[in-house]
Amino acid sequence: MLIRLLISSLLLIIIQKFRKKRLHIDKSDYKAFILLSFFSPFCYFIGENFGVYHVSPTIAAVTIATIPVFSPMLAYIAFKERVTPVNMLGFILSFTGVLVMVMDGEFRLTASAVGIFWLSFAVISALINIIFLKKLAAKYSSFTIILVQNVLGALFFLPVFLFTSLGEFIRTTPSIAAVLSIIALAVFGSTLAFMFYTTSVRAIGIARTAIFSNLIPVVTAITAFFFLGDIIEPGHIAGMVIVISGLLLTQLSHKRQQKQKPKN
């Protein structure tokens, strides 16, 4: 994570050099940026990484997929974002689709309590992060938020790296594939994906943005089919259809509300 965030930060700093806009953060927002970065990427990835040590990828996927389920409640409590019954149906339907995709034919789901604890910690961290993200997105560009977030995130991970991984890092010679994978995670995961996500939170709100994360297992399954030769089972296809149907329900309701607004 440290290397990934450092690469992303360096890329964004280089881009910033060519931008005409000056990077400026109000002192009153320092605390919000620090808390934003502390809860994600730092706390979120600590929880997620420790969680997957103790549970299967299936359990991890289902637990992380609860973030969009809780997001509507968070959006209403923190920002009074309106959530209609159709929206809620869409959230529940999409989550059900994730369950169908990741559970086995007998619908078994067992997990270590320690793993669930760490994954729940990741979910709570992500939800708290969203609160600060929503507030900052109303004032700063997505580029500025992600640049500051990644730099501060790298600073949070630095002492953890020095105390737990420095020796192993020095002794290890990474493969070309591993290096390219980290670069891809830095560019696409820690840079572009977060910038698009931040822009979406500003444009359509917390709840409707969070639901799109349930597309992650859908896109993963399709990509693995084409590039890794993985087999897509009938259950996967059924889950994909349910996920996308639920997502469409949440967005179509929003479109209807937009059309009903009076034009000036």
CA distances (Å), origin 28, targets 24, 36, 77, 107, 146 = 12, 14, 23, 50, 18
- What pLDDT digit, counting tens, does each position of 153-172 carry? 999 999 999 999 999 999 99
236 assigned to some structural domain: yes
Let me know if residue 201 belongs to a domain. Answer: yes
Q: Which residue has the higher pLDDT, 112 or 108?
A: 112
Question: So what's the pLDDT on residue 264?
Answer: 47
Q: Within a domain: residue 46?
A: yes
Residue 100 in any domain: the answer is: yes
Q: What is the pLDDT of residue 259?
A: 52
- Judge contact between 209 and 129, C-beta under 8 A: no
pLDDT in tens, 183-223: 999 999 899 998 998 999 888 888 778 778 777 777 877 88
Residue 45 included in any domain = yes
Give residue 260's pLDDT: 52
Number of domains in the chain: 1
Q: Please say if the pLDDT value at position 83 is more than 80.
A: no
- For the ranges 14-18, 19-23, 129-133, 251-255, which has the lowest average pLDDT? 251-255
- Cβ pair 264, 109 in contact under 8 A: no
Rounded mean pLDDT, 58-64: 73
For residue 18, how many C-alpha atoms fall within 13 Å in the half-sphere facing its CB? 4
Per-residue pLDDT band at 46 (split at 50, 70, 90): very high
Q: Give domain status of residue 196, yes or no.
A: yes
The model's pLDDT over 114-155, given as tens digits with 9 standing for 90+, comes to 888 898 899 999 999 988 998 899 899 999 999 999 999 999
Could you list the residue range(s) of the whole structural domain that residue 96 is in?
Answer: 2-17+24-255
- Is 80 exceeded by the pLDDT of residue 256? no
Q: Report yes or no on 263 lying in a domain.
A: no
- Whether 140 is covered by a domain: the verdict is yes
pLDDT confidence band for 75 (50 / 70 / 90): confident
Nearest to 206 by CA among 95, 127, 260, 140: 127
Mean pLDDT across the chain? 83
